[in-house]
Amino acid sequence: MPNEKFKILIVEDDLDMIEALRIMLESEGYSVISSADPDEGLQKTRDEKPDLVILDVMFGSAQNAKGFDFVLRLRQDKGLAGIPVLMLTAVNLKYPQFGFSHQTDDEYLPVDDFVDKPIQPEVLLKKAEELLKKKVSQWVNWPEKTEK
């Protein structure tokens, strides 16, 4: 995006995935910060005020769905609620019966978009650019329904 250096926070516990995402995003001129832990990621969100959060769903060897908790806590904090969130998920591949999607799950999972792992660079970059153009999450007033 011309003449603007957007800051993107990656919250993901796979360090190789963080590095791959960092390379993709920095190659397009984005400033990237990261956290491998959702609690630390939420604190970095408060401290750094990123323009976009890219968030994994499952964390740790127990595969806890801490990404869900992260986004709910983010939306409940009115100082952070406007930050768009792009959720990364391998859940649809591991558990196809869930079929997470923006069209069906945003009422209880207020993220701005989903992307399935493995991530294609062009898909990631396109979705990031679209969310950054909007500047504010559609869920800024969550839990009230927001017009799309």
**What's the whole-model pTM score?**
0.85
Hey, which of 24-33, 65-74, 82-91 has the most confident mean pLDDT?
24-33
Q: What pLDDT sits at residue 82?
A: 96
Stretch 9-29: mean pLDDT: 95
Stretch 30-35: mean pLDDT: 97
What single-letter amino acid sits at 127?
A: K
- What are 97-115's pLDDT values in tens digits? 445 545 544 555 789 988 8
Stretch 73-93: mean pLDDT: 86
State the DSSP string of 75-91: HHSTTTTTS-EEEEESH
State the DSSP string of 32-63: EEEESSHHHHHHHHHHH--SEEEEES-BTTTT
* Count of structural domains, the chain: 1
Is 143 inside any structural domain? no
Stretch 10-32: mean pLDDT: 95
Is 148 inside any structural domain? no
Q: What pLDDT sits at residue 148?
A: 47
Range of the domain at 39: 7-134
Stretch 122-126: mean pLDDT: 95
C-alpha span between 115 and 35 (Å, rounded): 19
Stretch 117-133: mean pLDDT: 93
Average model confidence (pLDDT) across the chain:
84
Question: 56 with 47: CB under 8 angstroms?
Answer: no
Q: What is the CATH number of the domain that holds 126?
A: 3.40.50.2300
Is 1 inside any structural domain? no
> Is the predicted pLDDT of residue 86 greater than 70, yes or no?
yes
Is 145 inside any structural domain? no
Hey, which of 3-17, 23-37, 64-78 has the most confident mean pLDDT?
23-37
